[in-house]
Amino acid sequence: MVEVVTGVRTSHQLRRWLLPDLYAALIEVHLTPCARGTTPIHVRVCTIDAQHTEAAVIVATATRTYALALRLEEYRGRWMTTALELA
């Protein structure tokens, strides 16, 4: 997701994994373009139950570090991001 908002990847690659309102919000975010990819620094996952998981991720780019919090829910046999915060 950080790679999408920094211009490393195209947004359509995430469309399948996000609820429509989250996808619309994500493509509206315009951060500083990044020439290189991202490096995950820390990942913390909390499994709520068999259908719900939450995660906090710290990701570094060449110019900045981002915090990402997301909630994943099982939706029609696959995981779907249902909540997303990026700072």
Least confident among 15-19, 40-44, 69-73: 15-19
Q: Where is pLDDT greater, at 3 or 79? A: 79
Q: Please tell me the predicted confidence (pLDDT) of residue 33.
A: 61
Q: Using an 8 Å Cβ cutoff, are 20 and 82 in contact? A: no
- Domains of the chain, CATH where assigned: 2-86 (3.10.450)
Predicted confidence at residue 43, as pLDDT, reads 93
Query: How does pLDDT run across 3-35, given as a tens digit for each residue?
Result: 776 677 788 888 888 888 888 887 776 555 665
Predicted TM-score (pTM) of the model is: 0.69
Render the burial of 51-71: b for 16+ CB within 10 Å, e for the rest. eebeeebebebeeeebebebb
* CB-count burial class (<10 Å; 0-12, 13-18, 19+) for 6: buried
